[in-house]
């Protein structure tokens, strides 16, 4: 598709809309489960899936930026400004990158912990209401939530984890998770 993009830019230059043709670069393929090339049809490739699970845009962008590229050997967590300042197409690895959900979740969890408590409580808002919350709307106590939020913030990987971490505050009966009991 690059020749078409170059032709499009040439036309835009002739029309006076663009000043010059940018330099183009290619990023490596991203491999999914089973080391198969990730396709737009794969559920793993859907941004909606990550939004619904409660990934922060900053966390997901941080992880995706590091696929096939590295800024530093000793850390994985970067702000958007750090990523932009450090990016150089020459540092992009030509080999395919492998999508690692655990690492993506880890980076997202770190970005959640970097939020101030007010931003965290607001970001969790959708998961504290129907259809995500297992409690009745009138059972939710905003004051209790505000008090527990700093502690819950240290325990979640994605925002959708919040309901499992605070449900005991708003449900009449405790949730019994047989799988957890068998692990204990």
pLDDT at 24 over 90: no
Q: How far is CA 76 from CA 63, 71, 72, 110, in A?
A: 8, 8, 7, 10
DSSP symbol at 98: E
Per-residue pLDDT band at 181 (split at 50, 70, 90): low
The distance from CA 73 to its chain's CA centroid, rounded to whole angstroms, is 21
Alpha carbons 123 and 178: distance in angstroms, whole number: 30
| Calpha distance 44→33 (Å, rounded) | 9
In whole angstroms, what is the distance from residue 104 CA to residue 118 CA? 24
What's the token pair of residue 16?
């006076």
> Which helix (H) or strand (E) segment is 57 a member of?
helix 57-65
* Model pLDDT for residues 123-179, shown as the tens digit of each residue: 999 999 989 999 999 999 999 999 999 999 999 999 999 999 999 999 988 777 777
pLDDT, tens only, 51-82:
999 999 999 999 999 998 888 888 999 999 99
Higher pLDDT, 118 or 1: 118
The pLDDT, as a whole number, for residue 156 is: 97
In this predicted model, what pLDDT tens digit does every residue of 102-118 receive, in sequence order? Answer: 999 999 999 999 999 99
pLDDT at 184: 59
The answer for residues whose C-beta is within 8 angstroms of residue 149's C-beta and 6 or more apart is 117, 120, 121, 124
User: How far is the C-alpha of 163 from the C-alpha of 43, rounded, in Å?
Assistant: 24
Among residues 181, 157, 182, the alpha carbon closest in space to that of 54 is found at: 157
Residue 180 has pLDDT above 70, yes or no: no
How far is Cα 33 from Cα 150, in angstroms, rounded to an integer?
Answer: 35
CA torsion through residues 105, 110, 114, 116, sign: positive
């Amino acid at each position: 598709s690059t020749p078409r993009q170059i032709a499009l830019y040439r036309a835009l230059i002739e029309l006076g809309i663009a000043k010059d043709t940018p330099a183009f670069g290619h990023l490596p393929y991203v491999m999914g489960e089973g080391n198969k090339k990730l396709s737009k049809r794969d559920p793993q490739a859907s941004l909606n899936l990550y939004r619904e699970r409660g990934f922060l845009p900053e966390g997901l962008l941080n992880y995706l930026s590091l696929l096939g590229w590295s800024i530093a050997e000793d850390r994985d967590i970067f702000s958007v400004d750090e990523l932009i300042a450090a990016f150089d197409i020459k540092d992009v690895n030509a080999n395919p990158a492998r999508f690692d959900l655990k690492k993506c979740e880890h980076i997202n969890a770190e970005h959640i912990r970097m939020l101030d408590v007010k931003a965290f409580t607001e970001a969790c808002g959708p998961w504290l209401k129907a259809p995500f919350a297992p409690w009745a709307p009138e059972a939710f106590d905003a004051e209790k939530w505000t008090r527990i939020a700093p502690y819950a913030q240290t325990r979640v990987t994605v925002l959708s984890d919040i309901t499992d971490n605070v449900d005991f505050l708003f449900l009449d009966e405790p949730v019994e998770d047989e799988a957890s009991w068998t692990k204990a």
